[in-house]
């Protein structure tokens, strides 16, 4: 039994400002994975037009995600950073996957139902096909591991379903072309062209909640800017938002158990823990029994210490668009070389003449 070569792939949409939730939940994980993996990080601009077609300054949005990746410590030379539309093979493989996936599979996606709302007939066809493009993003590199938030789990299950159906439907051609790999799916041996992607959900802070309501996720679409810390916020703004963050009147508990039923306290302690690479229990062993009036200034100091160098580097990069564009272009070329090889093999497996 052989195995696919491990490859980490993830994508972030260029819509709206990046906030602390994106940083702690995704980007910091991307940074940590670099040490031991081959990684590809993609600004998924093709996905950004599925829910809303026209964007103000889409180019600027794409550059700002790339700048955030690099300012946070992603190395675009050892790994690959690029924007999706620069590699047409994503859309090409997505078309094939549109013919592999069934309409029923797409209709069951909770994110589609949420985003389409009541007027489903009027959603774009692209929004329905979104998960098929996402599967193509990963599988055009035969990616194996995908760091994402838990809201993307269902999309990754669909990517596995697509890979499995392709592997089974084209089994004989995969063998005939000599492009497959023998893997186990459960205890079932499968001769596979595409790997079964694995989500990597765990992490220091998979869910960062709103500063105004500890039961809602921190989100770029929340109308109140006080609900989130943006990666481009300056120290004063971070300080104001944390000071105004909703809390309850109790002191902090000494143990993590005591955070149950106190979503705002849990969120702020969780943010402190993630920013300092400590556990919540460890943070509470220091701050247990103290009031928020003591804890909040400590959290402000920590957040500013961690975020301000990133913000400064992001601003510097954003001022030098030629440099960012060169990084994306170089990443795009290296990504395309890999994707072209996959598409040549996929075309051969399907039986296209080219």
CB of 239 to ligand TRP, least distance (A): 29
Does residue 220 carry a catalytic annotation?
A: yes
Residue of 8, 39, 129, 134 that binds ligand TRP (CB under 6 A)? 134
CB of 135 to ligand TRP, least distance (A): 8
Q: How many chain residues interact with ligand TRP (CB under 6 A)? A: 13
Does residue 115 carry a catalytic annotation?
A: yes
Check residue 28 for interaction with ligand TRP (CB under 6 A): no
Q: Is 224 annotated as a binding residue?
A: no
Q: Is 14 annotated as a binding residue?
A: yes
- Decide whether 92 or 137 has the Cβ nearer to ligand TRP: 137
Which one of 145-153, 209-217, 239-247, 317-325 is the stretch in contact with ligand TRP (CB under 6 A)?
A: 145-153
Helix (H) or strand (E) holding 167: helix 153-169
| Number of C-beta neighbours around residue 233 at 10 A | 22
Q: Are 252 and 272 in contact (CB under 8 A)?
A: no
d(C-alpha 269, C-alpha 245), whole Å: 12
Q: Is 289 annotated as a binding residue?
A: no
Q: Are 193 and 179 in contact (CB under 8 A)?
A: yes
Residue by residue, DSSP assigns 271-339 as HHHHHTT--HHHHHHHHTT--HHHHHHHHHHHHHHHHHHHHHHHHHHHT-HHHHHHHHHHHHHHHHHHH
Q: Which residue is nearest to ligand TRP (CB)?
A: 11
Backbone angles phi, psi at 206, to 5 degrees: -60, -25
Check residue 11 for interaction with ligand TRP (CB under 6 A): yes
Nearest alpha carbon to residue 42 among 24, 19, 26, 20: 26
Residue by residue, DSSP assigns 183-233 as EEETTEEEEESS---EEE--SS-S-PBPSS-TTSB--TT-S-GGG--BTT-
Check residue 13 for interaction with ligand TRP (CB under 6 A): yes
Query: Which tokens belong to 167?
Result: 């592997």
| Structure letter (DSSP) for residue 5 | P
Which one of 52-60, 144-152, 172-180, 236-244 is the stretch in contact with ligand TRP (CB under 6 A)?
A: 144-152
Check residue 47 for interaction with ligand TRP (CB under 6 A): yes
d(C-alpha 307, C-alpha 292), whole Å: 21
| Structure letter (DSSP) for residue 23 | I
Query: Per-residue x/- marks for ligand TRP, 91-130, CB under 6 A?
Result: ----------------------------------------
Check residue 148 for interaction with ligand TRP (CB under 6 A): yes
| Structure letter (DSSP) for residue 19 | B
Q: Is 15 annotated as a binding residue?
A: yes
Q: Is 21 annotated as a binding residue?
A: yes
Check residue 10 for interaction with ligand TRP (CB under 6 A): yes
CB of 12 to ligand TRP, least distance (A): 6
Residue length of the chain:
354
Nearest alpha carbon to residue 124 among 52, 178, 190, 54: 52
Residue of 61, 83, 152, 311 that binds ligand TRP (CB under 6 A)? 152
Identified catalytic residue from 5, 216, 220, 341:
220
Identified catalytic residue from 5, 59, 78, 115:
115
Residue of 8, 27, 33, 44 that binds ligand TRP (CB under 6 A)? 44
Please tell me whether residue 121 adopts helix, strand or coil conformation.
helix
Check residue 233 for interaction with ligand TRP (CB under 6 A): no
Q: At what angle do helices 89-100 and 125-139 cross, to 10 degrees?
A: 110
Residue numbers at the binding site for ligand TRP (CB under 6 A): 9-11, 13, 44, 47, 134, 137-138, 146, 148, 152, 155
Q: Which residues are part of the catalytic machinery?
A: 115, 217, 220
Binding annotation: 13-15, 21-22, 137, 149-151, 208, 217-221
Binding annotation for L-tryptophan: 137
């Amino acid at each position: 039994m052989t195995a696919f070569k491990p490859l980490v792939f993830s994508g972030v949409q260029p819509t709206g400002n990046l906030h602390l939730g994106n940083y702690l939940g995704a980007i910091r994980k991307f940074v940590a994975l670099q040490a031991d993996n081959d990684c590809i990080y993609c600004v998924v601009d093709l996905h950004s037009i599925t829910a809303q077609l026209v964007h103000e300054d889409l180019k600027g949005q794409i550059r700002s995600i790339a700048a955030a990746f690099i300012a946070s410590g992603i190395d675009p030379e050892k790994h690959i950073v690029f924007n999706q539309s620069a590699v047409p093979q994503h859309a090409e493989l997505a078309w094939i996957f549109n013919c592999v996936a069934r309409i029923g599979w797409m209709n069951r996606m909770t994110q589609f139902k949420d985003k389409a709302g009541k007027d489903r007939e009027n959603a774009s066809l692209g929004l329905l096909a979104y998960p098929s493009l996402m599967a193509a993003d990963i599988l055009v590199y035969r990616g194996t591991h995908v760091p994402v938030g838990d809201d993307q789990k269902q999309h990754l299950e669909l990517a596995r379903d697509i890979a499995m159906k392709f592997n089974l439907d084209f089994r004989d051609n995969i063998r005939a072309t000599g492009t497959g790999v023998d893997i186990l799916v459960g205890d079932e041996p499968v001769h596979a062209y595409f790997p079964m992607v694995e989500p990597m959900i765990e992490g220091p802070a998979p869910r960062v909640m709103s500063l105004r309501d500890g039961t809602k996720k921190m989100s770029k679409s929340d109308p109140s800017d006080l609900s989130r810390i943006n990666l481009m916020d300056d120290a004063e703004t971070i300080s104001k938002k944390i000071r105004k963050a909703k809390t309850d009147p109790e002191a902090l508990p000494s143990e993590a158990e005591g955070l149950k039923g106190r979503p705002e306290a849990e969120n702020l302690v969780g943010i402190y823990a993630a920013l300092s690479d400590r556990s919540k229990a460890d943070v509470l062993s220091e701050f247990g029994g103290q009031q928020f009036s003591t804890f909040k200034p400590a959290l402000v100091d920590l957040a500013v210490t961690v975020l301000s160098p990133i913000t400064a580097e992001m601003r510097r990069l954003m001022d030098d668009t030629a440099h960012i564009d060169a990084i994306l272009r170089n990443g795009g070329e290296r990504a395309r070389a890999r994707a072209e090889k996959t598409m040549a093999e996929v075309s051969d497996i399907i039986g296209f003449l080219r």
